[in-house]
Structure 1
Amino acid sequence: MTDTATFEQDVNFLRQHLDNVVLLQSAADSSMVLVTGDYQARVMTSSARGMNGKSYGWINYPLIASGEYQPHINAYGGEERCWLGPEGGQYGLFFPPGKPFEFEHWQTPGLIDTAAFTMVSQSDTEVVYTKEGALQNYAGTVFKVGIERKVQLLDKAEAARQMGVQLPDGLSVVAYRTENKLTNTGTEAWQERSGLPSIWLLGMFTPSDKTVIVVPFRQQDNAREFIHDDYFGKIPPERLQVRDGLVLMKADGRARGKIGLEPAIAKPMAGSVDTESGAITLILFSISPAGRYVNSRWEQQAAPYKGDVVNCYNDGPLADGSQMGPFYELESSSDARPLLPGDSMTYRQTTVHLEGSRTALDALAQELWQLSIADIAAVFNKQ
């Protein structure tokens, strides 16, 4: 695991250690996406420039090579994994009933941590996996679920359409969309009073001292009330700035911090930019303004369905000096719904990486965020 690994190096490593590795590739350009069923149909990494291109996903080489399971979570990495929320609270899926909301009791459910998914179809640009299982939440409710996950490589034109922009010339692009379907396979309806699961997509990327997370939001007088930055303690201003409809956060892997935006102000996009190379990463997702969004905080909650639709995380050392990464994460969540037996809900997210001409990337940054890449870099250079 190195900051400079090529896509080919990551492909070869994963093929050496995993049984089910699928390479999606375009006949029209050099975009490639690597998926594995061994880790819950996770997108491990991607490249805009073929085998010799930059590999975008953070991959935990030591853990994968060890072949061993870790307590609490197996952080294999990968630039988009499918989890189910909420994490904590009275309806949390990561704590057993009655236990304190403390790290020693926190456990990622096996269905979304160690289970292998079954591939049901594959083409050059698309692969589909399924898995069934059960989870119990903190309230003792058992959810029998079916998960279907489709990963589809997109062409440049479709990426631009979903971004809502005309891409400048001089850019190499890799884009993929995942379609995540959650089905109630049990005999009981899911009810708000006993907990509702949501679909939660998380991507792990390689940090750098020059990388900045950028999350746009709808400006209004009380917007700051819907932006949360105290998940692991308040993030100081030298690492986080909120200004002019943007949340800007360092993604250097040097200090733990997490932010979240509620659907009241969130826009259907979050991203990051490497202010040195100019490379831009985006996640695009949908928002249900009136939807129930689960609250994942590790506490008994007054408002368990007033959570975030988008989160971003910067990794850093724990109190004992150890560190899981370093990496940073871009995350989005579906709303939670009271599904009847046999009913399903589907949540889609598109990930886009763009690299190439600095002039073209700067023009794109201006269109997306109304700031140049140099302006974004200067936000923290002045701190």
Structure 2
Amino acid sequence: MTIAQESLIATKTFQADLDFLTKHTPIVLLESKGAAVAVAPDYQGRVMTSTVDRGNGPSFGWINRKVIEAGLLSPGQRKGKLEEHIYIFGGEERFWLGPEGGQFALFFQPGSKFEFDDWTTPAAIDTEPFELVEQSATSATFRRDCEMTNFSGTKFLMGIQRTVRLLDDDAVATALGGPALPDGVKCVAYQTDNSLTNRGDKSWSPETGLPSIWILGMYNPSPRTTVVIPFKAGEEADLGPTVNDAYFGKVPPDYLTVHDDVLFFKGDGTHRGKIGVTPARSKGIAGSYDADGGVLNIVTYNVQDAPFGYVNSMWEHQEKPYDGDVLNAYNDGSPAPGEPPLGPFYELETSSPAAALKPGETMRHVQTTLHIQGSKEQLDAIAKRTLGVSLDEVKVDP
């Protein structure tokens, strides 16, 4: 191994990322039995990264060191070409709000066009801090009040609360639907309990736009990382399309394979593409497998009734603004010929139902993330139990 290769591996450890982060922003460190999670209050209480081994384990979250080093001029103020639209700090689990596009978009202001030049991430979920209101060794709670205006001109007075907590062994077994993890398997598991409250004096109405809670995670890609999303089989007329792969242009077949009840999507960070699964098809779970690192990643969310549907984030005027996806995955790559990727990274994302809240009402969205490291045989048994597939099946067909 060359000195350059050793240096690259060293920078991918949790400790290296933690050392870097603490030089630039306050970090809340949650720890239990060697597992650790690093949370950044100034970056909206986002989980920046986590590890199965606090001492010398890998770092699972993708961190944009260039942007973090550049810093902020002041809260809510961007600088530089990249930061005109979004301040990409990275981080493996962050709080956002939907919808992104459409006539009720929160990322496009009234009178703008559904084009990248007019796309802007709201400062409250981009550059402005969340307040740390409670902390223990294994959990932290954050709060933020804000106001947002959607594309149609509707104003929302919002109250946001977010708790990040490490899960104990019993909670991990429950999340995986089986017995305790076998000896030799390492795991870091955490849950975020996210809530959105209507702080105004008017009800939020479907006719003028509804927001939703949107949780996204940026992970480090690798040549042999594959996203796995099991889904309910059935007719398109009953359950909708098996997958929406038209967000950024149709995903080519060498990056996406769709079977009767499961899909595989590359998470290698070499081609920009996004996919989505409808709430009627979702089983409430998604995952990814890093064959090189020997890591199985699992993401679940609280499946709940959605009387007003799920917001549609497509960048267009929509005939069905509440016919959106509940599960998404994104693979980063060049956004245009000759342009560099944003990361590269890949993402797993979940969304709450559209929040038709009366004054004082609250909607919750709970997401659980597990990173499990072990032998292929050990991880295979877990993949079969949770995702319904063996690891040998997890591949995009050529």
TM-score (norm 1): 0.95
Tell me if 1:10 matches 2:23.
no
Q: SS in structure 2 opposite 1:15?
A: helix
Give the counterpart letter for 1:369 in structure 2. Answer: L
Task: Return the alpha-carbon distance in structure 1 between the equivalents of residues 306 and 43 of structure 2.
Answer: 33
The AA in structure 1 aligned to 2:70 is S
- Equivalent runs, 1:159-178 vs 2, <5 Å: 159-169=172-182, 170-178=184-192
* 47-56 or 76-85, which deviates more: 47-56
The superposition leaves residues 258-317 of structure 1 with CA deviations (integer Å, 9 ceiling, x where unpaired) of 000110111110110012333111111022354410000000000000100000000001
Moved more, 4-13 or 310-319: 4-13
SS of residue in 2 equivalent to 1:9: helix
What letter is aligned with 1:153? Answer: L
1:259 match: 275
| Equivalences for residues 172-321 of structure 1 within 5 A | 172-222=186-236, 225-288=241-304, 290-291=306-307, 292-319=309-336, 320-321=338-339
Go from structure 1 to structure 2 and tell me whether the alpha carbon gap of 1:226 and 1:375 turns closer, same or farther (over 3 Å shift): closer
The aligned residue for residue 376 of structure 1 is 394
Query: Is the CA contact (8 Å cut-off) linking 1:264 and 1:289 kept in structure 2?
Result: no
2:56 pairs, out of 52, 57, 68, with 52
- Single out whichever of 217-226 and 187-196 deviates more from structure 2: 217-226
Q: Residues 157-178 of structure 1: CA distance to partner in whole angstroms, max 9, x if unpaired?
A: 2012022123541310100010
Any unmatched runs of 5+ in structure 1? none
CA contact (8 A) 2:277 2:328 kept: yes
Aligned to 2:4: none
What are the Cα deviations for residues 179-223 of structure 1, in whole angstroms up to 9, with x where unaligned? 111111112111110001000000000001100000010111325
Whether the 8 Å CA contact 2:277–2:326 is kept in 1: the answer is yes
Give distance in 1, aligned partners of 2:388 and 2:144. Answer: 42
1:360 to 2:378 alignment: yes
Aligned twin of 2:354:
336
| C-alpha RMSD of the superposition | 1.5
Mapping for residues 119-138 of structure 1, pairs under 5 Å: 119-138=132-151
Q: Name structure 2 gaps, 5 residues minimum.
A: 1-6, 73-77
Sequence identity (%): 46
Q: Is the 8 A contact 2:222 2:292 kept in 1?
A: no
- In structure 2, distance between residues paired with 1:127 and 1:371: 35
* Corresponding pairs, count: 377
Aligned-residue offset at 1:367:
2.3
CA distance in 1, matches of 2:8, 2:358: 46
